Structure 1
Amino acid sequence: MVNVFEQEDIMNTLKHMHKWFNDGLINPDAATTDQGPKWCVVSSGQGFPGAEVSWATGRGKDVYAEPFAGPLYSTTSILGSVNAISASSKYKTEALKYLEFVNTDETMRNMFAYGIEGTDFSKNEDGTITRTENCYSPATYSQATYFTLYPVAPNAADQWDKVEEWNETAESSVLLGFNFDRTNVETEIANCSLIMSRYDKELYTGTRDPEEAVPALYEELEKAGLETIREEYQKQIDEWLASK
């Protein structure tokens, strides 16, 4: 368990952001403004095959994506894709039947996601669909698998095949399955979070020189219990690894 600000690649990124700030490429008020832009010229996020097409459609701008890392399975990413049935549910059997149904029946899966064919969407010859204006539009990611969905034009017809291949080649984090218990260091985490809130925007927007800001930040974090947090993390990781 290490401090990310001691890592060379992180410092290089912060230095690069500071250079962009000094070159006038970053809004000089970026660290203090509470008004977001209509759209971001440069942004980062969790990508996938075909993501740039979806982002471009939503933003009305051409989008170019460059993979930075991954694909990687982590505890967080796995939990974000889990369908579960509450232990207190009175309808566990029915809920399980529903999950099986919506994840295996292609027609019903697409109806849940897109609505009624001919009313909410129309099929294209290449296997994609085109959605109508003001159509039924739920959060499809919260419903069931993507791999039986019709891709939405202008996405490629094999979009979900590519995503499935991408998933199958993903590596697993060495800490996949580990969950940190904050109980013993709640106070230290709260204190360090407060300190980070005074530095993060200026560092991440390039406003402050990381050569000056990071040592000052690190000194405050050390006094607030950063090392105690690191030791607790390392202790729990060691115990978790030993139990596997």
Structure 2
Amino acid sequence: MRKSFSKTLGVFLASIMLVISLGACSSNTGGNDKGAATDHASTQESNTNKGTESLPVVTLNIVYPGDPQPDQDTVTAALEEKLAADGINVKLKYQYIPWGDYYQKLPIMLATGDQVDIMWTDPGLLGTFAKSNSLAPLDEPLSKYGQAITAALDNKYWPPVTINGQKYGVPAGALGTTKGYYTATIRKDLREKYGLPEIKTMDDLLAYAEAVKTNNPEMIVFNEPPAAYHKGEVLQSTSSDGIVFDYKTMKAEAKYDLPGTLEDAKFLRSLYEKGYIDKDVMVGRDIRADFNSGKAAIGGGDVYEYNNYFRNIAVEGAQVEFVKILLTDEPYMPTTTWNFQSVAATSKNIDRAVMFLNWIQQSEDNYDMMTNGLKGTHFDIKDGAIIAPEGVDPSTIGYAPPEWMWQNPNFLKPKASDAPDFMQQLQDFDKDTKLLSPIMSFNFDQTPVKTELAALSAIENKYKYGISSGVLEPEKAVSQYSAELKKAGLDKVIEEFQKQVDAFLASSK
């Protein structure tokens, strides 16, 4: 899925981004003054007597990452018409920033006073912007105008947007955020051809890998290295590849000093030596194309990637199947959601922004229009699934926005092009998860160690991927990596991270 690649890139960039000191003002001229009080009263009356009295028209400036939707203007006009009929009265002005520029341009826009109302944020951006007073706390407007939002989202979704007891964004109702599993897509037709059972364990997966290599020596087995195993331990990644947080000890630890890390590295090296990982793995290529064209037998990724493989595999007679293998003692959630919509502190229309976000969740019709466009033009619904309207080529539909930004699990619908079991796999993915991260709403302030983190990031580029792909000899590479990380200031970063975690945990009691 588009989301998976873009968001992974986004989270990676956010994790290495140094804290930028922003000059955004924390005052709110539109949400707390007398005009806002009038706005509140008018809205309450409008919601009670729809059509008899309306709010003045305001424009919401919305900034999202990615590419503009070709039919955005058409859909926006329809959204504005329905919003006016429902008494919200907002105009929507969208600005899309390419993913590669988003993390650089958005902070500049906020710092220089560009008008921004609603914006997409993730854990890295939200933590940085909240500390610089660039985001509006939304507790009060949510309590007044966010009833549909809070009804749609389980309580578990709110910790990632909460800092020091205040909410700085509206989270998306994500599914499939559990960790502790190895997940991938395999060729079901090949598994059955070789007489192998359904894959439920790592031994089953390795038997499949061996059968592929024996019968199709020209094939790549893994289209990308199965990089993170962490067998048996619940370890949460943090601000650097060199640091993990242990749920049992509640301590930050040096990842490459842990016996399990070396064990994982040796295992990955064995896959590489057996030829299951391509010898040219370090050379950049389109890994999805490897699987979809039949060059690879195991496609790495989550449930969304499985659905993409189902849609795009171009091998005659090929069938795909999702693999989910538990590696830790129990599944766990480091976060319940990665995606938020935040409101700039400088917005003149904070309340109206929340009204709009709430309006999306007020009805299935509103949600479908925001997510799928105009019924009969961009989509239709058949048997509960989104389909292309009759006579419309799906490839020409010009509206497919990032639903994962405002996703509501209650309104989420499968698409006709989805794998038959995709929605069930997605809905079931988190069902056995009871262990949630004890530091889910913790945001690490990188300022005291920003120099060290920059140095650590540079060293990661030398070792991380080579170890995770099995290319580098484990004993030598892991010890060298560990030594260089410590020389660059790893211990100082761990100490600072632990100090802040301890303070967070103490304040959470």
Identity of aligned residues (%): 24
Q: Is the 8 A contact 2:256 2:479 kept in 1?
A: no
- Counterpart of 1:134 (choices 368, 391, 396) is 396
| Residue aligning to 2:472 | 208
* Structure with higher strand content: 2
- 2:438 counterpart (174, 178, 186): 174
What is aligned with 1:57? 311
Show the 5 A alignment for 1:13-162: 13-31=264-282, 33-37=283-287, 38-40=289-291, 41=296, 42=298, 44-45=300-301, 47=302, 52-59=306-313, 62-68=320-326, 70-74=331-335, 77-78=336-337, 80-125=338-383, 127-131=384-388, 132-135=394-397, 136-153=399-416, 154-155=418-419, 159=423
* Counterparts in 2 of 1:207 and 1:155: CA distance versus 1, 3 Å: closer
CA positional deviation for 1:221: 1.5
8 Å CA contact 2:340–2:405 kept in 1: the answer is no
Counterpart of 2:307 in structure 1: which amino acid? V
Change (3 A) 1:172 1:143: same
Shift of 1:208: 0.9
- 2:283 counterpart of 1:7: no
- Tell whether 2:482 aligns with 1:235: no
Higher relative contact order (CA 8 A, sep 6+): 1
Alignment CA distance shift 1:152-1:71 (3 Å): farther
Q: From the superposition, tell whether residues 182 and 110 of structure 1 become closer, same or farther in structure 2 (CA, over 3 Å).
A: same
How far residue 161 of structure 1 moved from its aligned partner, in angstroms, is: 11
- SS at 1:129 equivalent: strand
Q: Partner of 2:348: helix, strand, or coil?
A: coil
Displacement after TM superposition at 1:93 (Å):
2.3
3-state SS of 2:380 partner? strand
**1: CA distance, partners of 2:462 / 2:478:** 12
Distance 1:162 1:202, change over 3 A: closer
User: In structure 1, the residue corresponding to 2:307 is in which secondary structure?
Assistant: helix
Which deviations, in whole Å up to 9, do the C-alpha atoms of 1:46-73 show, x marking residues without a partner?
x45x763354225557242315464515
The 1:86/1:164 distance shift into structure 2, 3 A limit, reads farther
The DSSP-based 3-state class of the residue aligned with 1:84 is strand
Structure 1 residue 207: Cα displacement: 0.5
Partner amino acid for 1:23? K
* More off after superposition, 116-125 vs 149-158: 149-158
Q: Which residue of 2 aligns with 1:192?
A: 456
Shift of 1:158: 9.5
- Counterparts of 1:25 and 1:168 in 2: how far apart (Å)? 31
Post-superposition CA distance 1:120-151 (Å, at most 9, x none): 223223x1122333212111112442421332
Higher mean alpha-carbon deviation, 56-65 vs 145-154, is at 56-65
Query: In the alignment, is the contact (CA less than 8 A) between 1:128 and 1:150 conserved in 2?
Result: yes
**Deviation digits for residues 171-220 of structure 1 (CA, Å, limit 9, x no counterpart):** 32011211111122122212222112111221121111111110111111
Shift in Å, 1:84 = 2.4
Distance 2:463 2:285 in 1: 19
TM-score, normalised to structure 1's length?
0.82
Letter aligned with residue 56 of structure 1: F
Query: Structure 1 residues 130 and 175, CA, compared in 2 at 3 Å: closer, same or farther?
Result: same
User: Which letter maps to 1:138?
Assistant: P
Unaligned runs of 5+ in 2: 1-251, 389-393
CA contact (8 A) 2:310 2:419 kept: no
Equivalent residue of 1:83, what SS? strand
**Is the 1:151–1:160 Cα contact (8 Å) retained in structure 2?**
no
Q: How much has 1:97 moved relative to structure 2?
A: 1.4
Q: Which has the higher helix share?
A: 1
Contact 2:459–2:485 (8 Å) recurs in 1: yes
Q: Distance in 1 between matches of 2:449 and 2:410?
A: 41
Q: 1: distance between equivalents of 2:266 and 2:443?
A: 32
Larger Rg: 2
Question: Within 2, Cα distance between the matches of 1:36 and 1:156?
Answer: 26
Contact 1:147 1:161 in 2 (8 A): no
Contact 2:367 2:411 in 1 (8 A): yes
Instruction: Provide structure 1 residue ranges, at least 5 long, that are not aligned to the other structure.
Output: none
Distance 1:193 1:81, change over 3 A: closer
